[in-house]
Structure 1
Amino acid sequence: MLRKSTVLVFTAVLAAVGAENASAVSVLERAGNPFRTAANNQEFILNKQNVNANQFGLLRTHDFDAKVETQPLVVQGGAGADDLVIVTTMKNQVIGISARTNQRLYEVDLGVEADSNDMDAWGHTPTWGIAATPVIDAATNTLYVVAWMRKNANDNRYRDYKVFALNPMNGAQKSPPVRIFGQSQEGNGCWFNDADAVFTENGQTQQYVYPKLRAGLALTGNNGLVLAFAANGESFQGGRKNPHGFVIAYDTRGLLGQAGFSREPGIFCATAFNNWGAGIWHAGGAPVTEGDMIYVATSNGTSNNGGIDLAESMIKLRFVPGAGGSRPLLQKVDWYKAFLDERTSGDGCLWQDNKTEVSCGRSEINKAGSDWDFGATSPMLIPGSNMLLQGTKDGLIYALNKNDLGHNDRFNKLMFRPPLVASYDGGDVNENWARANRLNASIPCPDPGDVDDGTRNWFLPCSDLRPENNRMHHIHAMAYAKRDAGRGIVYVWGENSQLKSYNFFTAPDTLPTFRAQGSEIASGNMRSPGGMPGGLLSISGRPAATDAIDFNTAIVWGVYAKFGDSNKSFGDSQLVAYDASTILPGGKLRRLFRTGDDHQGGLGLMGKMIPPVVANGRVYVMIYRLAPGTDRVIGSQLKVYGLKS
């Protein structure tokens, strides 16, 4: 039941979005579309001529009394004559704001959030509630939100996730919420929110392993609502206490209370019950969906025993709606493992005396250790092609064939080989570069003549050249500008690196080529590794004849930590806009706008994993607010940029 609600009712209908104004757009999910390209090809107001310091700037701000970890959603025409901006917070609030007047139109509180003293390793976040970007189903005018809350308002020991189906125009419930609970369907014994996974300390019994929902919500084309979970911690704990990665999917018709459809979920567990890890977090990015197919990328954990333990993997699932009121299914269709792990199982890796041929992932025994997360970004599906891209903490981008992921064939099934070294790990440069060569040891290196032009060595691990200034690191976001059926541009901004762009081709075995880069360095005052998260990106422009962006109008937007780290601490951030198509001498992108000057970011403390949202002439950016003199987050602030007059 809602604790409080202040609501204004609007007459706008989501199914009619764009019907009256073909030049307007709504942003209804993370990264703007189910392929996660972060591209808006319906931006008719902002352009390369007016995005500059004289005409473009800060219009207004809106403060929240809780931390925001989710991307804002924008409903075109949802606030009368103007856009409705929907923001969710760690206090389980759902808030609707008029984009033009800045008026808070409604605020709904979904339930008592958890005290996060055992959820936040750095102690920055006092409460833990909604941490995953919601999704809006335009066909039914439904906002789906998942909230993390206490079972009992006065007891923080036991907690539940609940799925809410709301009217996005006013926040009203469309049906009762559903508690997420159940056993996986693979026969591997995994339970989500396992009631038996408890421990007693100082006379207090409480849940042992908490799932963490950080990846954005997604919708399939056949009425599936997809949730992808990591865990609070990635280390082996033994038996019922082990953390697991889960994919959970509901039939939206059941969530809306339609007769004949189950309100129970399909549940997929990415590792065996006795093993651990394979969490799905995607740096907040949502799974890719296409029709009834779902693509997720997992992170640290046990792997290497065929298709059972799928840590450090790409997983393809099919959502199968239930028939006659039965529970829906998540069928494993295909999978890919990026690399063989460097350590095999031993004492402390697996449950009790289990020493099967299952490694502990890229980790030290009994802990996450090296932290090589393959699933450091959400996957990205290149529209109109079979190419599925994945950015990793290795600083690599893998190109997979969505129709044949390849299982353990780590190289021969890649759509181009070797994988693209887009933003390389900058720890020990010799060790990491040697590791890249080991990854590619089964591939013949290109002829040396292919790497002498000064550009191709950007992405060939076989080159003798070393990563640029030992300053390339994790990838946490990508964006894609489609030019035509066979080619496009991928933008990526890794930690301790600049924004980089690459020409991508959908034909098999056609290697990407380096195109151009930006000027600013993420966390430029820090040695790598360090300086999370690099840059978070989006692209705007007018449409081309197909579903592509008119590349001559395209703008690349980035939010990055100019100074400092936005993971263990807080980074002073900057919003920057680049001309996506113009290349200046020296291989530089032409900058159009940035906040601040060379000595400060000018934006505020970076919202850790929240990309800029561009819609209908406005750019929405979220930052943190701290209690004075502390590193405790007391809230967030939405900054709205646009044309000044």
Structure 2
Amino acid sequence: MFATQTAAVSITQRAGNNFRTAANNREFLLNKDNVNPDRFGLLRTYDFNAKVETQPLVLENAANGDDLIIVTTMKNEVIGINARTNATLYNVKLGLEISSQDMDMWKHTPTWGISATPIVDPASNTLYVASWQKKNNDNRFRDYWIYALNPADGSQKAAPVRIFGRSQEGNGCWFNDAGAVYRENNQTNQYVYPKLRAGLALTANNGLVLAFAANDEKLLGGRKNPHGFVVVYDTRALLGQPGFSKEAAIFCATAFNSWGAGIWHAGGAPVTEDDMIYVATSNGTSNNGDVDLAESMIKLRFKPSIGGARPLLEKVDYYKAFLDERVAPKDCLWQDNNAEVSCGRAGAGAAGADWDFGAAGPMLVPGSSLLLQGTKDGIIYSLDKFNLGKNDRFNQLLSKPPLVATYYGGGIAENWDRAQHLNRSLPCPAAGHSDHGWFVPCGDPENNKMHHIHALALAQRDQSGGIVYVWGENSRLKAYNFSTLDGKLPSFRAEADDLASVGVASPGGMPGGLLMVSGKPAAGSAFPHALDFGSALVWAVFSKFGDANKEFAEGQLIAYDATSIMPGNKLKRLFRTGDDNNGGLGKMSRMIPPVVANGRVYVLIYRIGTSDCTAPDNQLPVCSQLKVFGLL
């Protein structure tokens, strides 16, 4: 049973849309009546001989009347699959992948290639992919390339463009110029190479947005103080149209001699609206100026190429999340860094810097000025996109009180008090638990477990608000009533019974639950994002057992009634793979949410050491599998 052409939908980017609501309100087949163990289940699988770290894309009726599934791999492959027949329509290899002995501290990503979710521009029918490749078959040197492809067959629309250049705000950062090298221990190394993990995004004025993490894994090279970057190309140049510059607009999130402020978003893409771009940065130099923007929300404006000139990125606004204490250099990640930096927050040694304001991707509530951000401190911050607040962390803090969303279900007063405490940077390790080197909040909430946030989802009723879903590490899925109206505070709605990372010792396991909402459009509503609450489901892939970051965790696909509230403020579970004794899904992919489109649910898992899965010498063979669920 498949969706008709008029009812079908395409999922062309990470989290479904440029607002990153992780919501599909054009799902006409799956509903609260038929998503159950009797009528819904596994339909088919598709094996890859490489690891996949990107979300699948779905293009309706793009495979001779069937849906086209596009998956990219860490071996720099772009693969098109017929959603109905499971046939491989094409497999295009873009270039030589990187052997990643210096790129993965946990040693289970054997190669790096395409690590960021691509995007399809429906206006030009172009698939944009960023590929990380060896330079001249020498693993010490690496280049990023942007490809503009035909999504139907993977063919190139224009010659690829190498990403490099100097940032434009005058702080001296260079991005990945593979010709810039230095000597260390008689070894020639590339000067700097960041990691691309956040998904690609598009602005309304022809900008292709890439946001890079600051890579500190540098066995084969790299600076001791890497940077986060935002890089934007004019898509008209990428398509080979004359009169537009192929240079990139480049923004560096810290000064050259500072460090960090990487943008990884747990794989989530930047928010874009018109010509504006919103990114959330993570650990690094975080002082009270407007240059070092670690632990921050940053608003940028893209100015496209005019008359062949290089496009520009203009810093419009920012919000600095944490007021840190100046600490002795010995307690910082970099011993020669005397700035006011985020390593002052935890008081638990250098690892205390791991606060990651950008642990999830931002979400802009459609039809409003509210920008939501989930963080490693378990808080959902609500910012005003028209006035982010800069260094004023409290008076401008938040159009709504921050929700300590993954620790506590209700109690706005308690949440507000706790958020104020956390935001003033006065955490402390719980007694007897400081030896693990990770932050533990004061008060030892919920058995000394961390509840980092790596994903948010929104079921929007109308412009006045809806329901926000969050599933933190070592926690349960929670739902909050959320209003866009002034003076109306968020309130706890319900939570699920299922617990992420059962039995994992403190501080617990990643990533909690990765989310998507589906349902029909709200009947009679002119608001394009309105969801029919009568059909709405919330889906999640979560780590049932284990830690999906440092190791391989047993995962589970699960579906809940998104809106009904059971006795005891509980969410109603409709379907899950497995039982209480195993995950039932397989080894979950670390940061890839389920994709729901046209009656099917697409989920990626890892396969480890199978006969068809190969890796470079001394690397663990890890490959992936796509599981397709639907009506039986």
In structure 1, what is the equivalent of residue 604 of structure 2? Answer: 622
1:146 aligned onto 2:133 = no
In the alignment, structure 2 segments of 5+ residues that lack a partner are 409-414, 426-441, 612-617
The 3-state SS of whatever aligns with 2:302 is strand
Q: 1:113 aligns with which of 76, 85, 97?
A: 97
Q: 2:496 aligns with which of 518, 523, 527?
A: 518
Deviation at 1:238, TM superposition (A): 13
Residues 349/220 of structure 1: CA separation in 2 closer, same or farther (3 Å cut): same
In structure 2, what is the equivalent of residue 423 of structure 1? Answer: 406
The worse-fitting range, judged by mean Cα deviation, of 344-353 and 292-301 is 344-353
The worse-fitting range, judged by mean Cα deviation, of 263-272 and 526-535 is 526-535
In structure 2, what is the equivalent of residue 536 of structure 1? Answer: 514
Q: 1: CA distance between counterparts of 2:221 and 2:623?
A: 37
In structure 1, what is the equivalent of residue 536 of structure 2? Answer: 554
1:593 aligned onto 2:579 = no
The Cα RMSD (Å) is 2.7
1:484 aligned onto 2:468 = no
Deviation at 1:350, TM superposition (A): 9.7
Q: 2: CA distance between counterparts of 1:115 and 1:396?
A: 37
Query: Do the aligned residues in 1 keep the contact of 2:322 with 2:424 (CA within 8 Å)?
Result: no
Q: 1: CA distance between counterparts of 2:92 and 2:304?
A: 30
Query: Do the aligned residues in 2 keep the contact of 1:606 with 1:624 (CA within 8 Å)?
Result: yes
Query: Do the aligned residues in 1 keep the contact of 2:480 with 2:493 (CA within 8 Å)?
Result: yes
In the alignment, structure 1 segments of 5+ residues that lack a partner are 1-17, 426-431, 443-463
1:567 aligned onto 2:568 = no
TM-score normalized by structure 2? 0.90
In structure 1, what is the equivalent of residue 246 of structure 2? Answer: 263
In structure 1, what is the equivalent of residue 279 of structure 2? Answer: 296
In structure 2, what is the equivalent of residue 131 of structure 1? Answer: 115
Query: Do the aligned residues in 1 keep the contact of 2:333 with 2:351 (CA within 8 Å)?
Result: no
Query: Do the aligned residues in 1 keep the contact of 2:283 with 2:342 (CA within 8 Å)?
Result: no
Q: 2: CA distance between counterparts of 1:201 and 1:282?
A: 32
The worse-fitting range, judged by mean Cα deviation, of 631-640 and 103-112 is 631-640
Q: 1: CA distance between counterparts of 2:580 and 2:628?
A: 22
Aligned length: 598
TM-score normalized by structure 1? 0.88
The worse-fitting range, judged by mean Cα deviation, of 201-210 and 102-111 is 201-210
Give per-residue Cα distances to partners, 1:483-509, cap 9 Å, x unaligned. 121121000000001100000011234
Deviation at 1:410, TM superposition (A): 1.0
Deviation at 1:599, TM superposition (A): 0.7
Give per-residue Cα distances to partners, 1:606-635, cap 9 Å, x unaligned. 100000000000000000000169992431
1:38 aligned onto 2:22 = yes
Residues 336/437 of structure 1: CA separation in 2 closer, same or farther (3 Å cut): closer
Q: 2: CA distance between counterparts of 1:104 and 1:345?
A: 57
Q: 1:53 aligns with which of 11, 16, 37?
A: 37
Q: 2: CA distance between counterparts of 1:185 and 1:266?
A: 7
In structure 1, what is the equivalent of residue 430 of structure 2? Answer: none
Residues 572/348 of structure 1: CA separation in 2 closer, same or farther (3 Å cut): closer
In structure 2, what is the equivalent of residue 458 of structure 1? Answer: none
Q: 1:473 aligns with which of 451, 464, 468?
A: 451
Amino acid at match of 2:558: V
Pairing of 1:270-349 with structure 2 (within 5 A): 270-344=253-327, 346=329
The worse-fitting range, judged by mean Cα deviation, of 20-29 and 166-175 is 20-29
The 3-state SS of whatever aligns with 1:581 is coil
Amino acid at match of 1:112: L
Query: Do the aligned residues in 2 keep the contact of 1:423 with 1:472 (CA within 8 Å)?
Result: no
The 3-state SS of whatever aligns with 2:421 is helix
Residues 570/55 of structure 1: CA separation in 2 closer, same or farther (3 Å cut): same
Q: 2: CA distance between counterparts of 1:282 and 1:311?
A: 13
Deviation at 1:168, TM superposition (A): 0.4
Q: 1:96 aligns with which of 58, 61, 80?
A: 80
In structure 1, what is the equivalent of residue 140 of structure 2? Answer: 157
Deviation at 1:436, TM superposition (A): 4.5
1:637 aligned onto 2:621 = no
Q: 2: CA distance between counterparts of 1:384 and 1:435?
A: 29
Residues 179/139 of structure 1: CA separation in 2 closer, same or farther (3 Å cut): same
Deviation at 1:303, TM superposition (A): 1.3
In structure 1, what is the equivalent of residue 559 of structure 2? Answer: 577
Residues 353/583 of structure 1: CA separation in 2 closer, same or farther (3 Å cut): closer
Give per-residue Cα distances to partners, 1:165-186, cap 9 Å, x unaligned. 0000000000000000000000
The worse-fitting range, judged by mean Cα deviation, of 547-556 and 58-67 is 547-556
Q: 2: CA distance between counterparts of 1:414 and 1:604?
A: 41
Pairing of 1:180-219 with structure 2 (within 5 A): 180-195=163-178, 198-200=181-183, 203-219=186-202
Deviation at 1:476, TM superposition (A): 0.3
The 3-state SS of whatever aligns with 2:563 is strand
The 3-state SS of whatever aligns with 1:165 is strand
Query: Do the aligned residues in 2 keep the contact of 1:275 with 1:350 (CA within 8 Å)?
Result: no
The 3-state SS of whatever aligns with 2:572 is strand
The 3-state SS of whatever aligns with 1:253 is helix
Deviation at 1:412, TM superposition (A): 1.8
Deviation at 1:348, TM superposition (A): 8.5
In structure 1, what is the equivalent of residue 429 of structure 2? Answer: none
Deviation at 1:196, TM superposition (A): 7.2
The worse-fitting range, judged by mean Cα deviation, of 185-194 and 30-39 is 185-194
Deviation at 1:423, TM superposition (A): 1.3
Give per-residue Cα distances to partners, 1:563-616, cap 9 Å, x unaligned. 001000000000000001111111111111000111111100010000000000
Residues 363/246 of structure 1: CA separation in 2 closer, same or farther (3 Å cut): farther
In structure 2, what is the equivalent of residue 455 of structure 1? Answer: none
Give per-residue Cα distances to partners, 1:270-306, cap 9 Å, x unaligned. 0001100000000000000000000000000001131
In structure 2, what is the equivalent of residue 27 of structure 1? Answer: 11
Q: 1: CA distance between counterparts of 2:67 and 2:320?
A: 43
In structure 2, what is the equivalent of residue 453 of structure 1? Answer: none
Amino acid at match of 1:386: S
1:613 aligned onto 2:595 = yes
Query: Do the aligned residues in 2 keep the contact of 1:503 with 1:515 (CA within 8 Å)?
Result: yes
In structure 1, what is the equivalent of residue 54 of structure 2? Answer: 70
Q: 2: CA distance between counterparts of 1:516 and 1:231?
A: 37
Q: 2: CA distance between counterparts of 1:186 and 1:366?
A: 33
Give per-residue Cα distances to partners, 1:210-256, cap 9 Å, x unaligned. 20000000000000000000122289x99964200000000000000
Residues 438/554 of structure 1: CA separation in 2 closer, same or farther (3 Å cut): same
The 3-state SS of whatever aligns with 1:438 is helix
The worse-fitting range, judged by mean Cα deviation, of 546-555 and 81-90 is 546-555
The worse-fitting range, judged by mean Cα deviation, of 116-125 and 340-349 is 340-349
1:373 aligned onto 2:356 = yes
Query: Do the aligned residues in 1 keep the contact of 2:402 with 2:416 (CA within 8 Å)?
Result: no
Residues 205/515 of structure 1: CA separation in 2 closer, same or farther (3 Å cut): same
Query: Do the aligned residues in 1 keep the contact of 2:538 with 2:560 (CA within 8 Å)?
Result: yes
Q: 1:388 aligns with which of 341, 362, 371?
A: 371
Deviation at 1:468, TM superposition (A): 3.7
